[in-house]
Amino acid sequence: MSRLRRLNDSPATEDDKMTSTPRGLALLRDPRLNKSTAFTEAEREALGLVGLVPEGIDSEDTQVKRALLQLGQKPTDLEKYIFLSQLQDTDETLFYRLLMSDPAMFLPLVYTPTVGEACLQFGHIMRRPKGLYISINRKGHVRDVLRNWPERDIRFMVVTSGQRILGLGDLGANGMGIPIGKLALYTACAGVPPQVTLPVLIDCGTNNEALLRDPLYLGLRQTRPEISQLDEFVEEFITAVQTEFPNCCVQFEDWAGVDAVRLLARYRERICCFNDDIQGTAAVALAGILGALRITGGKLSEQTFLFLGAGSAGIGIANLLTETIALEGIPREKARARTWLFDVNGLLESSRKDLADFQKPYAHPHEPVKNFVDAIESIKPTAIIGVSTVAKAFNERVIKAMARINRRPIIFPYSNPTSHSECTAEEAYRWSEGRAVFASGSPFPPVRFGDRTLVPGQGNNVYIFPAIGMAVYATRAKLITDEMFIAAARAVAEQVTKAELDVGLIYPPQSEILKTELHAAQRVAEVIFARGLARVPKPSDIGAFIQSETYKPEYPALI
C-alpha cells in the first residue's frame, strides 16, 4: 500500500502519519507528497522542512499562477511538454491541478499532437525515468521486474511495444511517452487516482535503424524478434501481471497492427483488457458519427462508410459500427455491408488475395478499384474516415466528390499527428462550400467561412478511454466488452448541445472533459452492473458512486 493511501486511510492516528511520512529532503523529493511552497508552518516544523523551503507559504492557486507564468515563458510546445513532465516528477498534485484547471489548453501539450514530437526525441529529452521498462532480455524474470514497482494496488497499465507510435512508426523505447501521456489523461480527464496507474514499455528492440545508430537511444539495441518469441514473452508478462496485480486492467497501446489484433483476440475474454487503437478509436469514431447524424439526420443503419486505411484502427471502427447497427435490428451481414475499406492496394473487395483474416469480412463483391475518388463515385458513401496516416490524402477531388454526392458530407481525417492528417479543417470546409461535417484526430482552429465561424471537432480517444478506465476502476470490472464502448460513445454524443452542433462541433468541448467523462463512466458502469461483470455491489445511485471514487488534486494532510 502506498504512503499516500496510508495517509488517506482511516482511522489513522497522528503517530501513524508521522511514522509513515518521509522527512526533509526525502519528502521534497516524493512527488506524491511534496507540496513545495504550500507546506503549512506546522508541517515545516514537524517534518524537518524549515530552511529547505522559502519562508513564504503559497496557496494552491498561487502555485498554479506561478506554474502558468513559467510555462508561458517556454518558446515551443516541446519545451512546455518537458516543463510539465518535470512538474509531474516533483509535485504530482500541482501537475494534475494545473492540467484540470484548463484541460483544453493542456491536453494538446501532454498528449497529441505534442507527444508525437516528444516520442521522436524521447531519448534526448528524458530527465527522469517513469514507469517500467520490461526487456525481452529479462525473459523468465518478468515477475521480478514487476515486483520492483513500489505500489501494490495497480489497477491500470498502459502497455506499448513502441512499434507503431501514432503515425510515426517504430520508435522502440522512445514510445514510452505514449503510456505516460495516456495515464496522465486517465487522471486529468476522468479522475482515476494516479497511484493506481503504471506505464509499461515492452522492449523487444526496434527495426528503426536511425534509433539503433543514435548514441542517446535508451532502448534495447537489437532488431525485433519473431512473432512466436514476442507472443511467448507477452504471455509471461500477462501471467505475471495477473499474479502481482490481480485487479489490474491492461490497455494495449500502439502495437503493430497485426500484433494488436492478435493479442486482443487472445486476451480479451481471459483478462480485463482492451486495445485503445482498436476499440477506443472505434468508440470515438462512433461518437463522432452519432454526433454528425444529429446534424445530417437519418439513422446509423442508413449510412454508408468508406475508410481510407484498412489496418487495425479501421477494422476496429468498422466492427463497432457493425455491432451498433445490428442493435437497430439489422442482420449483422447487412450491417457489415454498410462499411467499405480502401488501402494502399485499392478497395477491399472479394477478388483480393492479399488480405489478412481480420480484413476479409469487409471484402464485399465489387469490381477492383485502385483510385479513392473512383471508389467514392461508385460506393457513394455518406462518410469517409481517414486512418491511413497519409497526409493530404483527402485532397480537393476527394472532398468535392463527397460534396457532390451528399448535402452534408461527413469528413473524418483521424490520422495523427497533425502532419499525417488526411486534410485540414480549412480544406474540408472550403472544398465542400462550408457543408462538411468535420472532425479530425488532431486539433484544428476554428475556420471563418463566409459569414459563419465553423468549429472543427477533434475525434480524440481521450473522450473514451479515461471513461472506460474510471468505470472499470470504480466497479473492478472483470472484463471489458464492446457494449461498454458503445455505451461510452453514445454518452459522449448525447452531451453535445444544439448551440455546439449549430457551429459544426460534434464532440463536447474539451474544457468540460471531466464532466463528459464522468457521465460516460456512469453509462459504462451501468452496463458493467447489468451484465454481472462488477466485483463490487451495485450502488443505489451509480452517478454518485462514480463521483465518490473520483480523484481530486488536493494535498494530503501530513500531520
Catalytic annotation, residues: 111, 182
What is the rounded CA–CA span in Å between residue 10 and residue 55?
32
305 with 340: CB under 8 angstroms? yes
What is the rounded CA–CA span in Å between residue 350 and residue 341?
12
- The vertex-527 CA angle with 522 and 531, nearest 5°, equals 145
Look up residue 29 and give its amino acid.
Answer: R
CA distances (Å), origin 340, targets 337, 399, 456: 7, 17, 25
- Long-range pairs for 496-502 at CB < 8 Å and ≥24 separation? 496/291, 496/294, 500/455, 501/291, 501/294, 501/295
Q: Which three cell numbers stand for residue 201?
A: 514499455
Cross-strand bridge partners of residue 452: 449
Q: What are phi and psi of 241, to 5 degrees?
A: -60, -45
Q: What are phi and psi of 527, to 5 degrees?
A: -65, -45
What is the rounded CA–CA span in Å between residue 31 and residue 28?
7
Sequence-ordered list of residues with C-beta below 8 angstroms from that of 329, at least 6 positions apart, any chain: none
What is the rounded CA–CA span in Å between residue 465 and residue 285?
13
CA distances (Å), origin 459, targets 153, 203, 411, 438: 32, 29, 11, 10
What is the rounded CA–CA span in Å between residue 66 and residue 478?
43
281 with 312: CB under 8 angstroms? no
Q: Which class for 243: exposed (0-12), middle (13-18), buried (19 or more C-beta within 10 A)?
A: exposed
The CA R_g of the chain, rounded to the nearest whole Å, is 24
310 with 341: CB under 8 angstroms? yes
Sequence-ordered list of residues with C-beta below 8 angstroms from that of 26, at least 6 positions apart, any chain: none
Query: Cis peptide leading into 11, omega within 30 of 0?
Result: yes
Q: Is the dihedral of CA 69, 71, 74, 76 positive or negative?
A: negative
322 with 340: CB under 8 angstroms? no
Residue 521's Cβ-side half-sphere holds a number of Cα atoms within 13 Å equal to 34
What is the rounded CA–CA span in Å between residue 305 and residue 286?
11
